[in-house]
Every structure is written in C-alpha cells, then in structure tokens.
Amino acid sequence: MMKIIARIVLCLTLITSAASAADVEMLAKETTVNALIENGWNLTTVSSSDHFITYTLIMKKLFGYE
C-alpha cells in the first residue's frame, strides 16, 4: 500500500512541477505593462514580494483570447 501511495505522490509531483515551467523573458526597464497590453498581451496574474513585482502575461493571439 505504501508503494502505491509513494508512486501516486511522485506522479503528482512530476506533473505539477512541469506545468509551472515557462519561458521567462526579462524586458528593458523602459517597458511598461500598459504598453504590453496595448500590443496584444493579456495580464493574467500579479504577484509581489519585498523586492519584486511579477506580472504574468499571455499573448492573446496564441491562445485565442481575441
């Protein structure tokens, strides 16, 4: 029974860790979120910490958001 549980946990870990992987692109300091939205990007999430603000944007045309 423990082997089955361990295998399930391992599979779930592998599946969820791969789903969060994505290409990250560092932009110039002059780039604004408003300009990206005007150029066809969709703002999906915003998260922050003490030192960083992270914006997650997805290209509308790639996923049919138009």
**pLDDT above 80 (res 46):** yes
Interatomic CA distance for residues 65 and 23, integer angstroms: 20
Local confidence band at 34 (pLDDT 50, 70, 90 cut-offs): very high
- pLDDT average, residue stretch 7-19: 68
DSSP sequence for the chain: -HHHHHHHHHHHHHHHHHHT-----PPPTT--HHHHHHTTEEEEEEEE-SS-EEEEEEEHHHHT--
Q: What is the pLDDT of residue 16?
A: 62
pTM: 0.51
Parse the chain into domains and list their residue ranges. Answer: 23-66
Q: What is the mean pLDDT of the chain?
A: 78
